[in-house]
């Protein structure tokens, strides 16, 4: 699953490279990014969050207690309800936006954003279907195919820039609608991609009236507050982008670049692990195996911290050379590199907290508690909003200020979730995890210092004029720092280092 997610995230970076090459970080780019953020938020809430978090425990419970026939019937009822609800929301939003565009006096950039939003918003219907199908596959033990669906999504979105743009006019303001149409096509393909594997499991869609169905009611009851609990980071991004869109024409596009870099390690390990843990923890909770529940959760958190703290250090120390290597071409200039890398430096320290929120929220959902993470996330959203306004309007830090606000609010979120989970699971002991933190953090700092020294030498003596030099400026410090980190943590006998090394060795091809 991690391989499929990594492939998807890498292709997501390629997509962003193509997008930035095509549109840069100006007003049109910000209009597109902000318009896409709104329907894309539903993909993150549903595909990576609230819908699966609410549905999988119920789906697993039906399988264990009522048999497969009732399990598939409940799934069909939920799908039918989602289709009705999502179509209703999409129609209402599109009518509202159309009326607003026809009657209001708007700035050109705002008008373009709303027109793009109207074009892309039907993506929400498609993402609802893809999300529920992915959740069903996860519950049946399939993780690779659902994760690989995002690969299909990114390939189609990249193809829209290459193949559709020439048919949409000569100006960027017109050509950008080709990318919007590509989003819709990509949504269709991602949903279709899940179907063959589900059919092989025995699923056949049949309309089941959702209006009085108890399963639908339970999913909705858990999903609405759950969307806040699981997706605090994405909601933070939407709120801060809303603030920034009217302040400066480039802030949204700049901050988006930093967020995309954050999502690579967060998705490869954080989302993958959280997606795997939800059905696992749900099954343990349903069978009342709480000692195994607690040990599985602790182990998952230890792996997450061990891997993502190193990724956080690399994003912090090597932000500028990474951005330069990935994005600096076409309409993405050296000035754009400086802006995006500064925002990434401010966002990177929060990577571990961002990732832990996904896992801890799912631990609550696995034991049937949806209110606690919702309340905590609402408080942290208010914290984020306050800090974002302060850094954006008082200190005038732009996209960097949004990064700092998100980092602070995510640290607050994970602290409160840990405290609440310990109160809920009385015997949940993090002492062993805390003992590992000091040597792991010390090893990460040492690796970061080595990476910074090598990068500084490379920049002052070798430069980055050619592609080979840009590659070396990123990967040479990264390789040596990674070796130091794994060496130190192994020498210090960190259990996570031993487990990760064993996993890698088992995955390597054996000699015959």
> What confidence tens digit (pLDDT) does each residue in 214-255 have?
888 877 777 766 565 555 556 666 777 777 776 666 788 888
Q: Please report how many Cα atoms fall inside a 13 Å half-sphere around the Cα of residue 311, on the Cβ side.
A: 23
Query: What local confidence, expressed as pLDDT, does residue 125 receive?
Result: 85
Query: What local confidence, expressed as pLDDT, does residue 180 receive?
Result: 92
pLDDT score of 197 more than 80:
yes
**Given the structure tokens 């063959």, which residue do they identify?**
196
> What confidence tens digit (pLDDT) does each residue in 169-181 have?
888 889 999 999 9
Computed over every residue of the chain, the mean pLDDT equals 82
**CB-based burial label for 181 (10 Å; 0-12, 13-18, 19+):** middle
Domain-wise residue ranges, the chain: 2-429, 430-504
Lowest-pLDDT range of 49-58, 322-331, 421-430? 49-58
Contacts of 159 (CB under 8 A, 6+ apart): 182
Q: Distance (Å, rounded) from C-alpha 60 to C-alpha 43?
A: 22
**In degrees, to the nearest 5, what angle opens at C-alpha 203 toward C-alphas 3 and 188?**
60
pLDDT score of 333 more than 90:
no
Q: 460 versus 229: which is more confidently predicted?
A: 460
Q: Distance (Å, rounded) from C-alpha 119 to C-alpha 36?
A: 10
DSSP state of 98: H
Residue 512's pLDDT band, with cuts at 50, 70 and 90, is very low
For 413-427, what is the mean pLDDT? 83
Query: What local confidence, expressed as pLDDT, does residue 114 receive?
Result: 92
Question: Phi/psi of residue 374, each to 5°?
Answer: -65, -45
> What confidence tens digit (pLDDT) does each residue in 9-19 have?
778 788 888 88
> What confidence tens digit (pLDDT) does each residue in 482-506 have?
999 989 998 888 887 777 777 666 6
Q: How many of the other CB atoms lie within 10 Å of CB of 510?
A: 6
Q: Distance (Å, rounded) from C-alpha 47 to C-alpha 8?
A: 14
pLDDT score of 313 more than 60:
yes
Q: Please report how many Cα atoms fall inside a 13 Å half-sphere around the Cα of residue 39, on the Cβ side.
A: 27
Q: What is the pTM of this model?
A: 0.74
> What confidence tens digit (pLDDT) does each residue in 88-118 have?
888 999 999 999 999 888 888 889 999 999 9
pLDDT score of 128 more than 90:
no
DSSP state of 220: H
For 4-12, what is the mean pLDDT? 74
């Amino acid at each position: 699953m991690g391989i499929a997610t990594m492939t998807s995230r890498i292709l997501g970076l390629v997509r962003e490279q193509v997008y930035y090459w095509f549109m840069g970080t100006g007003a049109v780019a910000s209009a597109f990014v902000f318009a896409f953020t709104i329907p894309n938020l539903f993909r993150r809430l549903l595909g990576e969050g609230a819908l699966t978090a609410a549905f999988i425990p119920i789906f697993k419970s039906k399988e264990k207690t009522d048999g497969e026939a009732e399990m598939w019937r409940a799934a069909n009822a939920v799908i039918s309800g989602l289709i009705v609800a999502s179509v209703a929301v999409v129609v209402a939003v599109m009518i509202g936006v159309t009326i607003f565009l026809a009657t209001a006096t708007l700035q050109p950039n705002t008008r373009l954003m709303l027109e793009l939003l109207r074009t892309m918003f039907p993506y929400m219907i498609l993402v609802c279907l893809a999300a529920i199908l992915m959740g069903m596959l996860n519950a049946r033990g399939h993780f690779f195919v659902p994760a690989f669906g995002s690969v299909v999504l990114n390939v189609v979105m990249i193809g829209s820039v290459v193949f559709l743009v020439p048919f949409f006019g000569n100006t960027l303001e017109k050509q950008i609608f080709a990318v919007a149409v590509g989003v819709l096509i990509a949504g269709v393909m991602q949903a279709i991609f899940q179907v063959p594997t589900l059919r092989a499991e025995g699923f056949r869609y049949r309309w089941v009236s959702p209006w009085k169905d108890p399963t639908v009611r339970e999913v909705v009851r858990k999903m609405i507050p759950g969307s806040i609990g699981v997706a605090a980071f994405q909601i933070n991004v939407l709120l801060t982008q809303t603030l920034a869109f009217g302040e400066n024409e480039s802030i949204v596009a700049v901050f988006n670049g930093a967020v995309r870099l954050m999502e690579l390690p967060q998705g490869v390990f954080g989302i993958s692990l959280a997606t795997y843990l939800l059905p696992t923890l749900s099954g343990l909770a349903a069978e009342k195996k709480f000692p195994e529940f607690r040990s599985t959760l602790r182990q998952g958190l230890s792996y997450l911290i061990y891997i993502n703290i190193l990724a956080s250090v690399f994003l912090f120390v090597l932000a500028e050379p990474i951005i330069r290597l990935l994005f600096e071409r076409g309409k993405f200039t050296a000035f754009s590199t400086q802006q995006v890398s500064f925002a990434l430096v401010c966002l990177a320290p929060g990577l571990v907290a961002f990732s832990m929120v996904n896992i801890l929220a799912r631990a609550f959902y696995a034991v049937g508690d949806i209110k606690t993470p919702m309340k905590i996330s609402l408080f942290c959203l208010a914290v984020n909003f306050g800090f974002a306004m302060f850094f954006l309007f008082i200190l005038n830090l732009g996209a960097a200020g949004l990064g700092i606000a998100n980092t602070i609010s995510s640290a607050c979120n994970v602290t409160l979730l840990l405290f609440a989970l310990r109160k809920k699971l009385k015997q949940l002991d993090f002492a062993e995890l805390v003992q590992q933190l000091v040597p792991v953090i010390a090893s990460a700092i040492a690796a970061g210092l080595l990476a910074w020294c090598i990068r500084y030498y490379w920049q002052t003596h070798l430069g980055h004029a050619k592609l080979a030099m840009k590659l070396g400026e990123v990967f040479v410090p990264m390789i040596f720092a990674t070796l130091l980190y794994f060496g130190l943590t192994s020498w210090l006998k960190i259990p996570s280092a031993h487990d990760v090394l064993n996993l890698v060795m088992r995955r390597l091809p054996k000699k015959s």
